[in-house]
């Protein structure tokens, strides 16, 4: 999964400015906004105003660290915290098998609409605690009814918390495009996106990458602490 995300990121970094400007001229728009950022285009330049987004990202990192410390990285306690804060958690038999039909994996799933939302609502209604059939679904966790890897759960929790802080990229359209191009990033399909869709997709990618990086940093820190503890226990650490 990580390799697919990296490939998609590199593709976006290589998108030429003329493609964006061509789409800009079609829409006659000079700025694009989401919940906490604004991008303004002018002659040969663009200005991205992200003050609130950056503040929310700092708060995200701090808050997640506090919650993880409180619940000792325990996946079940994190899920209980999620449910207490209004997000459904559905444990289904063979969840990964059923989710693969729409290109998803177990974990946090953002808001969906259309056929994928219909499928998910039917799935959670039959096997989980879903409330009914709908062409729109709220953000939720869908998991197998078995123990979950701590680090994977933390990554999913990080994305969920980012959504709760209203960081951009979690609207149904952006999440749908992200999942679509995560599995198949055909150039022609991406070029067919509007500027708003492209910006939303980039934000969705950013949220996923931030969650992965958070887990990597946490794992390195944890491994470092364990190694230091082992050395101290063996009398090999110097202070």
| pLDDT grade for 53, boundaries at 50, 70 and 90 | confident
178-181 own/partner pairs: CB under 8 Å, 24+ apart = 178/204, 178/205, 178/208, 179/102, 179/103, 179/104, 180/103, 181/8
Alpha helices, DSSP H only, in the chain? 2-13, 17-27, 51-71, 75-84, 95-100, 115-127, 150-164, 172-183, 187-191, 195-233
d(CA 206, CA 72): 26
Q: Report yes or no on 184 lying in a domain.
A: yes
Answer whether residue 15 is part of any domain.
yes
Q: Cα–Cα distance between 18 and 49 in angstroms, integer?
A: 22
What band does 234 get if pLDDT is binned at 50, 70 and 90?
very low
Residue pair 149/96 in contact by the 8 Å Cβ criterion? no
Stretch 163-188: mean pLDDT: 85
Say which residue the tokens 């503890």 belong to. 229
Question: Residue 104 has what pLDDT?
Answer: 92
Higher pLDDT: 49 or 181? It is: 181
Summarised one tens digit per residue, pLDDT across range 88-132 is 999 999 999 999 999 899 999 999 999 999 999 999 998 877 788
User: Per this entry, what is the length of the chain?
Assistant: 239
pLDDT at 152 over 80: yes
- Domain membership of residue 145 (yes or no) is yes
Asked whether residue 229 is assigned to any structural domain, the reply reads no
- Asked if residue 199 is part of any domain, the answer here is yes
Per the domain annotation, does 172 fall within a domain? yes
- Amino acid 165: pLDDT: 95
How many alpha carbons fall within 13 Å on the CB side of residue 161? 25
Q: What is the mean pLDDT of residues 31-55?
A: 56
List, in order, residues 6 or more apart from 75 with CB less than 8 Å away.
147, 148, 149, 150, 153
How buried is residue 175: exposed, middle or buried, by Cβ count under 10 Å (0-12/13-18/19+)? buried
Asked if residue 134 belongs to a domain, the reply is yes
Range of the domain at 15: 2-222
Residue 184: C-alpha distances to residues 28, 110, 155, 228, 231 (Å): 29, 19, 23, 43, 46
**In-domain check, residue 228:** no
Highest mean pLDDT among 38-42, 79-83, 103-107, 199-203: 79-83
Q: What is the pTM of this model?
A: 0.76
Distance separating alpha carbons of residues 183 and 104, to the nearest angstrom:
9
pLDDT number for residue 15: 46
What integer is the mean pLDDT of 145-172?
93
- Three-state DSSP class for 146? coil
Domain count, the chain: 1
């Amino acid at each position: 999964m990580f390799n697919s995300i990296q490939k998609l990121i590199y593709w976006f970094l290589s998108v030429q400015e003329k493609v964006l400007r061509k789409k800009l001229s079609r829409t006659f728009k000079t700025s694009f906004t989401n919940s906490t950022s604004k991008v303004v285009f002018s002659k040969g330049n663009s200005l991205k105003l992200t003050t609130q987004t950056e503040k929310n990202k700092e708060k995200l990192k701090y808050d997640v660290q506090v919650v993880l410390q409180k619940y000792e990285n325990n996946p079940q306690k994190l899920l209980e915290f999620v449910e207490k804060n209004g997000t459904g958690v559905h444990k289904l038999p063979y969840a990964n098998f059923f989710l693969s039909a729409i290109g998803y994996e177990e974990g946090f799933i953002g808001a969906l609409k259309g056929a994928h939302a219909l499928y998910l609502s039917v799935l959670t209604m039959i096997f989980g605690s879903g409330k009914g059939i709908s062409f729109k679904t709220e953000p939720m966790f869908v998991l197998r009814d078995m123990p979950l890897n701590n680090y994977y759960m933390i990554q999913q929790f990080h994305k969920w918390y980012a959504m709760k802080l209203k960081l951009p990229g979690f609207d149904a359209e952006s999440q749908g495009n992200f999942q679509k191009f995560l599995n198949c990033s055909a150039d022609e399909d991406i070029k067919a996106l509007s500027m708003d869709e492209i910006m939303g997709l980039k934000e969705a990618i950013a949220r996923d990458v931030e969650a992965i990086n958070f887990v990597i940093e946490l794992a390195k820190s944890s491994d470092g602490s364990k190694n230091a503890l082992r050395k101290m226990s063996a009398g090999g650490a110097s202070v």
